[in-house]
Amino acid sequence: MNWQLRPGWIGFLFDGRVFVVRGSRKFIRTTTYCANSGSNGTGGSRKANTDDVVVVRNMPSPVNRSSNERYLGQVFCNRNLNMQKISAIGFDMDYTLSQYIPESFETLAYEGAVQKLVTHLGYPPELLEIPYDHTKFVRGLVIDKPRGNIIKMDRHKYVKIAYHGSRKLTEVERKAVYDPNNTTWDSFTGSGYAVVDTLFSLPDAFLFSAIVDFKDNNPDRLSKSYEEIFKDVRTSVDLCHRDGVIKDKVAMDPAKYIHKDEHLKGTLDMWRESGRKMFLLTNSLY
């Protein structure tokens, strides 16, 4: 990964993003370019400025691969950053150093949240019987809380796909609710919408859609509004991350929940051997 920064500046990886920091100031505005892997910590001459942010999908590998090998999670970018003058590199823990296995890790959050909804908030016990599907949703979606919908938009805020619970809206239904002629840049902001922008949010989306289905099919069993349901879901999932429901189980069996990256040690060793300081910047227990 190659940057070029002024002497004394530092960078750190957090939730898949690289932030450039000087003192207490943080520069995180654009996503103009990504970092790439380099074997010696040097590279291009692109300088970072106050509008720079680097987005990283996976940890870069120090291993040079031939062009005929299949994709193995490399980072692709259209600009290089030179790390020659950077003095310290920091890392977030979750989804940066620790790449969680979605089939098992997300299920912990989902099942823990459902249990809390049923046990503490009086939700119907039938919800406990709904299995989690980690392939159902991806990042980049938007939850329309008042309507019980989950939508996918393009960069012009045009809603291309919309689901009410697990039911896909027809084109006529979708355009009646999200009229493209009345859509503005402010149409999907405010407290009525929640962006699924992190991997931690995926269980929220699945659980919300499942409860929306249950409410529609059993209106006499669940009188809460869609917005109230989302608030309860968000509170329950967040509590699972704080009270040990998730972390305690991960600590007991890390191999079940964390993907072992064969290239991680080599990447960290490469940067440490180059003379740079390494640090961990996280609010996670470790």
92 an active-site residue? yes
Residue 225's contacts (CB-CB under 8 Å, 6 or more residues apart) are: 146
Tally of residues, the chain: 286
Q: Are 159 and 151 in contact (CB under 8 A)?
A: yes
Q: Is 94 helix (H, G, I), strand (E, B) or coil?
A: strand
Q: Choose among 82, 9, 71, 228: nearest CA to 19.
A: 9
Q: Which backbone phi and psi does 119 adopt, to 5 degrees?
A: -75, -45
Give the active site residue among 15, 52, 92, 261. Answer: 92
DSSP 110-170: HHHHHHHHHHHH---GGGGG----TTS--TTEEEETTTTEEEEE-TT--EEEEEETTEEPP
Residue 197: alpha-carbon gap to chain centroid: 5
Q: Which backbone phi and psi does 206 adopt, to 5 degrees?
A: -65, -45
Give the active site residue among 52, 94, 204, 232. Answer: 94
**How far is it, in rounded angstroms, from Cα 195 to Cα 267?**
32
52 an active-site residue? no
Q: Choose among 90, 79, 116, 64: nearest CA to 3.
A: 79
Catalytic residues: 92, 94
